[in-house]
Amino acid sequence: MDGEGGGGSGALLVFGHRSPDTDTICSAIVLADLVKGTPARLGEMDPETELALRKFGAAAPILLSGSAEGKRVYLVDHNEAVQSAEGIEKAVIAGIVDHHKFGLRTAEPILIRAEPLGATASIIYKKFVEQGRSVTKQQAGLLLCAILSDTAIFRSPTTTQEDREIAEELVRIAGVKDIEALGLELKKAKADFAERDLAKAVSSDFKVFPMGSGTLGISEIEVTDDARAQAKAGEIVPILGKLKAEGGHHTAALMAANIAARASRLFVVSDSPGIVEAAFGKKLENGGSIYFPGVLSKKKDIIPKLERVFSAAKK
Ligand SMILES: [Mn+2]
């Protein structure tokens, strides 16, 4: 027995959030090795993640399509029921490793490891070190891709000094020669995906957060210039409208992140556009979007501000 992930019966499934991203998938694969579990995923992987797995020769986690009820699970990179597997309330949660705000209520005390680092992958690496385990070249490569992805190649304000130091270690172990080039290649895979199939790119990254008395669905794509993003408003707004209606959310949003310019444009379709405008003290411009110079993090710059106004509006 490992000490972690004990109790219950059946295989221990290790998985991240719905609409999986590179941090969720790579963290699940590597942590599964540490806790002797089976890596799983809750949806289709995007081309950025597929590229990361291909580069370091890793197999895709198994697709968990049914309910998690009664299963032993270890969650990475999320902790909200709305982002997790169906039936998660009735699963046996062996543990959680995450770097998001906490929204979870559990019936029993459980093992939780949360740190405000740029990626869950950084915490996974720390767990290996703490347990006296070394990561393989493949594992180092996967964790490195996850950090580059989640921190927008260290440009996101969520990036910490610890993430940079861990990434340096991983670069050495994985034998990566040019970390910036690897990051840009991953981001390009994501940008190309949005160019190729905007609707699929937006829906494949769509994450749901409880917000006030309803829910917010938010997604992110990479863009190379703002004029192009604005020109796509006519396509983006109907895509968000459809996702909003399908999920019954009060707000659907898309952050079009321009990593090179360190800026984002947030497209919004909402039942309460006035509340969204109040959250940021800015008006929604033509096509229903707001431009944010210096913003590259939904987690730090967007979601907390929306949460504040929506929970105030609920009262
Ligand atoms: Mn993450």
Question: Separation of 60 CA from ligand 1 center, angstroms?
Answer: 18
Question: Separation of 288 CA from ligand 1 center, angstroms?
Answer: 27
pLDDT of residue 315: 57
Q: Are 42 and 71 in contact (CB under 8 A)?
A: no
Alpha-carbon gap, residue 28 to 97, rounded angstroms: 10
Strands 12-15 and 72-76: parallel
pLDDT in tens, the chain (315 residues): 444 444 445 799 999 999 999 999 999 999 999 999 999 999 999 999 999 999 999 999 999 989 999 999 999 999 999 999 999 999 999 999 999 988 877 778 899 999 999 999 999 999 999 999 999 999 999 999 999 999 999 999 999 999 999 999 999 999 999 999 999 999 999 999 999 999 999 999 999 999 989 999 999 999 988 998 999 999 999 999 999 999 999 999 999 999 989 999 999 999 999 999 999 999 999 779 999 999 999 999 999 999 999 988 865
Question: Separation of 76 CA from ligand 1 center, angstroms?
Answer: 8
Question: Separation of 3 CA from ligand 1 center, angstroms?
Answer: 25
Domains of the chain: 12-185 (3.90.1640.10), 197-314 (3.10.310.20)
pLDDT of residue 313: 81
Question: Separation of 286 CA from ligand 1 center, angstroms?
Answer: 31
Question: Separation of 31 CA from ligand 1 center, angstroms?
Answer: 14
pLDDT of residue 216: 97
Question: Separation of 114 CA from ligand 1 center, angstroms?
Answer: 11
pLDDT of residue 286: 78
pLDDT of residue 27: 98
**What is the model's pTM?**
0.92
Give the CA distances from residue 86 to residues 31, 51, 55, 167, in Å, rounded to whole numbers and listed in that order: 21, 28, 31, 33
Question: Separation of 102 CA from ligand 1 center, angstroms?
Answer: 13
Question: Separation of 315 CA from ligand 1 center, angstroms?
Answer: 31
Question: Separation of 183 CA from ligand 1 center, angstroms?
Answer: 15
pLDDT of residue 103: 81
Question: Separation of 125 CA from ligand 1 center, angstroms?
Answer: 14
